[in-house]
Structure 1
Amino acid sequence: MKKEYKQLKPYLILWSTQAFSALGSGMTGYALVLWLYLRSGSALKTALLSVCSYAPYIIMSIFAGALSDRWNKKRTMLFCDLIAAVSTMTVFVLIRTDSLEAWHLYFLNGISGLMNTVQQPASEVAATLLIPREYYQKTSGLRSFSQSLNSILTPILATALFSFAGMETVIAVDLLTFMAAFLTLWLFIEIPQEESPEDVREEKEKLLASAGKGLRWLGQNLLILKLILFLACINLVASIYNAALPAMLLSREKGGETVLGLVNTFVGIATLAGSILVTVVPKPKNRVRAICLALFVSMSTENFLLAFGNDTVVWCIGAVLGWIFVPYMNANMDVIFRSTIPGRMQGRVYACRNTLQFFSIPVGYMAGGWLVDRVFEPLMARKAEGMLTSLFGSGKGSGAAMLFGVCGVVGVLICLCFHVLLKRDSWSEAEG
């Protein structure tokens, strides 16, 4: 255990402080969703916050990965964190001067999303350089643990601070966590740099040619490409879910800010339990099959319980069933990616992954917000009684509930289709 800690110490310091900063950022993002929805009452306007954050992934990810492979990983991470913090400080100033408008948030979320686009492949490669290969699955469990713990704490802390101390206090906490992570990375973490004769030649390559290498690598490794496309389809359904969830839970008779926070807290509890599970269960014989099964359980439970349930207990049970196996899926995906993609190519391949896997997220948020506001809510408003109201209830929020039912059907069909597509594929440590 002592040897293991010594080998992982630099990564553990980086992981813990970055997770602490992510908690602060998550609190701000959550509180801004509450702030905007309570003022506008529009699922589409609220969903645009996430659209603006994810849009840079589509536009810039491939080029960001090529740049990340060329640039110093530590300096890249520090610069991107600093610009994102400046955006957060701008929101703070606008609130203090009572000048904050929705378009300010869209623009600043776009800036933060762009910085995350550049930082994410750099941080992935940095983790690979700091983690010995034999600890990939354990450290993936740690990342899932911190993400799930943040999922538990974010709605609790953000709702409490937002309700009792205001948006300014939430942002102040975010900036404090940023400072802790920034100073730790700057002063105490050394990230090793890999360099080979090929790396030197690639410094002289044109940016477009360098980025294209990531796409060509994926074209030659179809298992990785199919898994990325699988996650892209799942992300489409998941982002529609994320756009519709506040609209339903904040509008329902038995809902409200506290209920929304409670359901999100149970999402965090489920992923925390799943993260602990990842660290203790043996390696699956077939990691691809494990990924398919985990996503099938998620898609076939939560959406239907949200659609047909009408109280907090059922919604929380849905959150647990929908998220408990997600860390297990992520861990297996992470092992396949890190063990298959060459280290000097990871920045470019991860960036291509970001474009292909995450392009469906802003599409899903836009579609989810539009479908709630313009299709399902007006449809349910016209149905004073009948089969639809007996299934999904009545009043504001019932349209979002109906949309969850549609998402459940679509999610199950996606899992079944990719199960067939991936049926002949497998992945084990020996194969990797």
Structure 2
Amino acid sequence: MRKFIGVWASSLVTMTGSALTGFALGVWVYLETGSTTMLALSFVLAFLPGILVSPLAGALVDRWSRRTILLTSDAVGICTSLTLALLFSSGHLEPWHIYVTTTIRSVLRALQVPALNSIVILLAPKEQVGRANGLMGVATAVSQTVAPVLGGALMLGIGLDGVLLLDSGSFLVNVVVLFLTRIPAPPSSEAGTTGGGTLRGEIGQGWRVLSAKRGLVALALFYAALDLSVGFVDVLITPLVISFASVSALGVVLTIGGIGLVLGSVTMASWGGPRRRIHGLAGFAVPLGLFLCLGSLRPSVTLVAISAFGFMFCSMIIDGTSRSILQLEVEPDMQGRAFAMFNMVTNTILCTSYFLAGPVADHVFEPLLAEKGALAGSVGGVLGVGPGRGMALLLLLLGVLVLVTAIAGYLQPSLRGLADKVSRPAPEPATAKGSAESEESEKSDGDPRSLDDTDTDADSDVEPEPRAPMTQR
């Protein structure tokens, strides 16, 4: 695990730098424009371009050297951060500059995430994969928890340009780790060799590697169903709390939720998840749904904070278990395509829920539990009436949906079987011979196809999966 720990430590630094930058840029856009819509646009641009290029990105990850991809991405990340810092210092920074760089980073993230996810199985022994994914979750959780608190202080202390320079330094840490770490190429498999050829054929192979096993299809659908609820929670938690409490109370709720995120990741890192992985999926989806229901019952900061903690904690166990299943069930030289397609499906649902959350809450559910709303005399007697209670009803129904999803997961034989079996041995840890072969293969830098057999990897600056504050899956 020593090489993996080095990669993980670098990941923690760079994820924190990127999270600080994301927070600072969002604050700057809102203060500059005073528009929530303009702020929301930056969130959409962080997701949508990456979703659109995911099929191509996955094929390129399996075709090229992952190490080369990550080095290039870090170099571009340094350039974008420095460019924004120079524009801000000279007084020429505009919101559209941020939108352009956010789009560029979204496309790069579509390459980085499957590359990073697919190297875990190359660095960690099979029996440690769950813990390794838990550690990556720790890096994500810590960066997300620290960013709002530290980002605000840094904005006041060193300004936006200072935050951007720190982000550039975090990218540089990744570059150093990439140059110092040698990771063996993934072993060639029959499926990977068969899928090679044209980019179009390799993209299609990415779909086939998921659809060939019913269990992986079931996993994608299960995860997507949870993402539908996750997206609504991410958007509605702020207006729900503010509807009956202060902004400082919202900060307390989000902080406690962040603690749950960190502790969930630490638990996964130390435990590795249950022996039967269906319990790590559907088993933890049950309390996830119950916590969501609990937070909607009363306009209470205490109840919502408890729910946020439990919701975040359970989400990290589900996330780590899901990635472990993909890493153990898909051949290493196919994992770039597999993760790209999996992320595209699930993130599409997540992004859709972001679009729907506001209109559905404002125009459908809030009127139902207004003072004289259609459900004020019935459901209102349980949940209450007035501002925010319609959103509470929506979250209650989403909690029920999560519970139904958990039951469906347990009733799905292919998902239960897939979670328990390992269809292939994990690759051997890096040896001196493996390192030598990796270093030798790096000398052939001509045609990108010459990198096929030298998938040397290292860390990236992004979270294991581009995501909103709930999971970053």
Give the TM bin, normalised by the shorter chain: 0.7 to 0.9
Report the alpha carbon displacement of residue 413 of structure 1 after superposing the two structures with TM.
3.4
Aligned residue in 1 for 2:436: none
Give the AA of the match of 1:411. Answer: V
Q: Which moved more, 1:189-198 or 1:203-212?
A: 189-198
Residues 106-165 of structure 1 deviation map (CA, whole Å, 9 limit, x = unaligned): 333221111000111222223322222232122122112222222332222123334565
CA distance in 2, matches of 1:17, 1:225: 33
The question of 1:114 aligning with 2:114 is answered no
CA distance in 2, matches of 1:194, 1:285: 26
Equivalent of residue 411 in structure 2, options 399, 420, 424:
420
CA distance in 2, matches of 1:200, 1:402: 47
CA distance in 2, matches of 1:47, 1:304: 28
Assess if the C-alpha contact under 8 Å between 2:189 and 2:331 holds in 1: no
CA change 1:430–1:97 in 2 (3 A) is closer
Assess if the C-alpha contact under 8 Å between 2:263 and 2:313 holds in 1: yes
Assess if the C-alpha contact under 8 Å between 1:275 and 1:328 holds in 2: yes
Assess if the C-alpha contact under 8 Å between 1:50 and 1:362 holds in 2: no
CA change 1:343–1:195 in 2 (3 A) is closer
Equivalent of residue 344 in structure 2, options 333, 348, 355:
355
Aligned residue in 2 for 1:206: 198
Matches within 5 A, 1:331-350: 331-350=320-339
TM-score by length of 1: 0.84
Assess if the C-alpha contact under 8 Å between 2:61 and 2:336 holds in 1: yes
Report the alpha carbon displacement of residue 45 of structure 1 after superposing the two structures with TM.
4.4
RMSD: 3.3
Assess if the C-alpha contact under 8 Å between 1:274 and 1:324 holds in 2: yes
Give the AA of the match of 1:314. Answer: L
CA distance in 2, matches of 1:27, 1:337: 30
Aligned residue in 1 for 2:308: 319
Report the alpha carbon displacement of residue 376 of structure 1 after superposing the two structures with TM.
5.1
Matches within 5 A, 1:123-162: 123-162=116-155
Aligned residue in 1 for 2:441: none
CA change 1:253–1:405 in 2 (3 A) is same
Assess if the C-alpha contact under 8 Å between 2:218 and 2:415 holds in 1: no
CA distance in 2, matches of 1:109, 1:194: 31
The question of 1:244 aligning with 2:241 is answered no
Aligned residue in 2 for 1:31: 24
SS in 2 for 1:156: helix
Percent identity for Structure 1 against Structure 2: 25
Count of matched residue positions in the alignment of Structure 1 and Structure 2: 420
Residues 240-283 of structure 1 deviation map (CA, whole Å, 9 limit, x = unaligned): 2212233444x446232x44443332222112222333344476
Aligned residue in 2 for 1:235: 227
Unaligned runs of 5+ in 2: 425-473
The question of 1:366 aligning with 2:351 is answered no
Assess if the C-alpha contact under 8 Å between 2:227 and 2:346 holds in 1: yes
Report the alpha carbon displacement of residue 288 of structure 1 after superposing the two structures with TM.
1.5
CA distance in 2, matches of 1:373, 1:219: 38
SS in 1 for 2:416: coil
Give the AA of the match of 2:319. Answer: N
CA distance in 2, matches of 1:309, 1:31: 33
Report the alpha carbon displacement of residue 210 of structure 1 after superposing the two structures with TM.
1.0
The question of 1:46 aligning with 2:39 is answered yes
SS in 2 for 1:325: helix
Equivalent of residue 408 in structure 1, options 391, 399, 403:
399
Report the alpha carbon displacement of residue 209 of structure 1 after superposing the two structures with TM.
0.4
Report the alpha carbon displacement of residue 423 of structure 1 after superposing the two structures with TM.
7.8
Which structure has more relative contact order (CA 8 Å, sep 6+)? It is: 2
Larger helix share, 1 or 2: 1
Aligned residue in 1 for 2:176: 183
Aligned residue in 1 for 2:246: 255
The question of 1:20 aligning with 2:13 is answered yes
Assess if the C-alpha contact under 8 Å between 2:71 and 2:175 holds in 1: yes
CA change 1:233–1:199 in 2 (3 A) is closer
Give the AA of the match of 1:227. Answer: L
The question of 1:268 aligning with 2:253 is answered no
CA change 1:424–1:242 in 2 (3 A) is closer
Q: Which moved more, 1:318-327 or 1:26-35?
A: 26-35
Report the alpha carbon displacement of residue 207 of structure 1 after superposing the two structures with TM.
0.3
CA distance in 1, matches of 2:371, 2:84: 39
Report the alpha carbon displacement of residue 206 of structure 1 after superposing the two structures with TM.
0.9
Aligned residue in 2 for 1:4: none
Residues 275-330 of structure 1 deviation map (CA, whole Å, 9 limit, x = unaligned): 3333444763421133102122112213641x344344333211111122223223
Matches within 5 A, 1:52-91: 52-91=45-84
CA change 1:45–1:95 in 2 (3 A) is same
CA distance in 1, matches of 2:93, 2:402: 37
Give the AA of the match of 2:199. Answer: L
CA change 1:355–1:111 in 2 (3 A) is same
CA distance in 2, matches of 1:149, 1:357: 23
Unaligned runs of 5+ in 1: 1-7
SS in 2 for 1:301: helix
CA distance in 1, matches of 2:11, 2:260: 22
